[in-house]
Amino acid sequence: MSRAGRVVVHAIVLGVVNLGGLLAGAAAFFILRGHGQIAMQIPVALIMTVLCFGLWTLLTRGTDSGSLRLDAVRDAFYLYLLAIPFAVVLLVLMGFMTQGHAPSWADLIALVLFQIIANFLTLLVSVAIWTGRLLE
């Protein structure tokens, strides 16, 4: 697979992981109901995003063929930029499929703001895994 193809695959996975983390945060809020939604959802989503994409990174780092392995820090930059629109498109599609209409602009902006911070932290961990510095 080409470098661009690998970056796109990782960006899609990161976008899905972002939404999955936010859903996990919403589930934590629903179960515990003790605190404000944002105060509970964002930290859970952040932890889940870093852990899940870190696991994905470890799994792809260990492949013998290297077909999904990203090697350069430059790849992380492109991945960072591509994951945001992929997650937004996915959220819009999910909104149409589950509610019959697109999410509000406020929801889309909140997703992008979450991704700016979460994906930066997530990719710091992932680059450390790709380069082997985290595992030494």
Domain positions in the chain: 3-131
Average pLDDT score over residue span 99-120? 93
Unique residue bearing structure tokens 């695959």: 9
Unique residue bearing structure tokens 């063929």: 65
Model pLDDT for residues 53-104, shown as the tens digit of each residue? 999 988 887 666 567 777 777 888 999 999 999 999 999 999 999 888 989 9
What DSSP character marks residue 102?
Answer: P
**DSSP-derived secondary structure for 118-135:** HHHHHHHHHHHHHHTSS-
Which distant-in-sequence residues (6+ apart) come within 8 Å of 101 by Cβ? 95
